[in-house]
Structure 1
């Protein structure tokens, strides 16, 4: 989806009055970034980028190991305001899918739900934290400013604002043993933990080329 939206955005920019366009690519905490940009005024710039991240990580919680995956597929839309040289402030949004998901595997043959341990042989609990499909971005950065054609470096430091919604999905055996009330309480506990992350940090480094 992000790649399709980026293609549309590139088409829209291409029909604007002829300018020296910029293409860029980099890596960061939002994943691989590939995009296009244009200066739309003396101190203003507009950029769009497709951003992809697929990262696996394990963590321990309540006697279980969660084999998780962080997966982003987003379109970034950014407006830059240049303060001095290449230094700028940036505001924009990320549009698309951003989520963390995984399955719980019992560490000692049991899984703890709402403070009580239950046998977990052959059972599992899936967890998912899904971020808003549209989330604002604010930050500072350097780059995307060169007046002449050629290659340049860029860097961004900011935050994507928005809390995730958490969901637990137990297998039938765990649901029967723990009961819907305990599952709901455990999901509320997970949501409380997820709510502590009110913003996702965005750090990006890359290279641009202006035609």
Structure 2
């Protein structure tokens, strides 16, 4: 079961910070508002060029996906949810190409619920009678996650619309946890539940690098 839940690994009050930054006094030609979409969800933010080759950005990034499916006699209900505030620093190597480093702060987690649909469910490689029984699983990433990447855009070289793209990784290992229903716990035993959780954690450990690919448009004032 851990294999299937592991496949799906990988909104915020920080929007008020974005509004503060956007409304604070600045040179009339310094601020860019932008929005886009990508593997970290919907992005909305504000950026500023703070030096000849450097820029600073704040963004809120939100993702809420779910999927239901049947596999190996179990019904799966899975969810992937991100709700983060991100801070990025840009270093421009040319007019638009840049290196980016930063971090995301907030919640990133994947969760799933498996319910036996044919009267059995498999725990730690062993199949148990489990009509109506279920098991919950969750993988939660660190609340602070470093980011490294490259990108194009956010250069704010002229007033008007512009395009941007980012490609990078979020670095951080999630903690996994499974919680069986009482009947399944009694049938499988705590030792098998613990072994299944270790299996899930091993699957989650392979996802230390989460791909963050985004594209969108910005408007410079």
| TM-score when normalising by structure 2 | 0.89
- 2:16 matched to which residue of 1? 7
Classify 1:60/1:202 alpha carbon distance in 2 versus 1 (closer, same or farther; 3 Å): farther
Conserved? CA contact 1:130–1:166, under 8 Å: yes
CA apart distance, 1:64? 3.3
Q: Is the 8 A contact 2:38 2:214 kept in 1?
A: yes
Gaps of 5+ in 2: 1-10
Matched residues in 1 for 2:59 and 2:15: separation?
A: 6
CA drift of 1:139 comes to: 0.3
1:31 match: 41
CA distance in structure 1 between the aligned counterparts of 2:217 and 2:22, rounded to whole angstroms? 20
Tell me if 1:148 matches 2:153: no
Query: What is the CA deviation profile of residues 36-92 of structure 1, one whole-angstrom value per residue up to 9, with x for unaligned ones?
Result: 000000100000111000111356777534321000000111000000110000000
CA RMSD of aligned residues (A): 1.8
| Distance change (3 Å), C-alpha of 1:169 and 1:51 | same
Q: Alignment partner for residue 85 of structure 1, among 95, 110, 123?
A: 95
Structure 1 contact 63–112 (Cα < 8 Å) conserved: no
**5+ long unaligned stretches in structure 1:** none
- 1:117 aligns with 127
2:139 to 129, 136, 159: 129
Q: 2:208 maps to what in 1? A: 198
- What is the rounded CA distance, in whole Å, between the counterparts of 2:164 and 2:41 in structure 1? 15
| Contact kept? 2:118, 2:131, Cα under 8 Å | no
Question: Partner residue of 2:176?
Answer: 166
Match of 2:189 in 1: 179
Moved over 4 A (4+): 58-63
1:145-198 Cα offsets, whole Å, 9 max, x none, are: 131110000000000001111100000100111111110110001101111111
